[in-house]
Amino acid sequence: VVNKKTISHEDVLAATELTMSDKMFVDVMKNNTEALTHYTSNSETKKGESRQAKAGLVLPPSIAEKFLRDFNNSSLLVTSTAPITLCVVLETVLHNLLSNATSIATGSKKVRVTVRELELASRDDLEKVFEGFHFIGGGVLPFIHPTLLAKKARKRVKKPQGDQTPKKHKFKPGTVALR
């Protein structure tokens, strides 16, 4: 048990590395260094601007900091860069989720992204992140047995050879009379 009382951006990255795939973690690291560089370079020059604007983020770090401070009802301290890193992680996951869902929706010729596309997108690249998680209203993931996916060969109709003419259709008794 570690008696650590401060959460830093390294702790957020360590937790992220455990829950994400390698490719996605590389994206998180790249985006995080970019955001932290923007934040540190802008923090001294631009006074009165929010952390969100300084880091160039879409999600506000203030809400992430509130979550980190109130997590497990403990009195943990949070460094100034930890909420920014958590927002970068969330933005990366959301970006991958929405881009996968958009490609699934366009592949099925739909204009809107529905909960079903989000559910399907969370199973592609983000399976490790969304393990045990289901979107409400997403339905059941489709499962088609692999034997049903194999296409059967079509039967070919034999063409008559030479003088053989095909038999004409014979109607059931009374069909012609009823006409």
**Which residue type occupies 35?**
A
Sign of CA dihedral 21, 26, 29, 34: negative
Q: What is the pLDDT of residues 81-98, one digit of tens each?
A: 999 999 999 999 999 889
For residue 165, the SS3 value is: coil
Q: What is the pLDDT of residues 126-173, one digit of tens each?
A: 777 777 776 776 666 667 677 776 777 777 776 666 666 767 888 898
Read off the pTM.
0.68
Determine how many CB atoms are found less than 10 A away from the CB of residue 138: 15
175: which strand partners?
A: none
Tell me if 120 sits within 8 A of 134, measured CB to CB. Answer: no
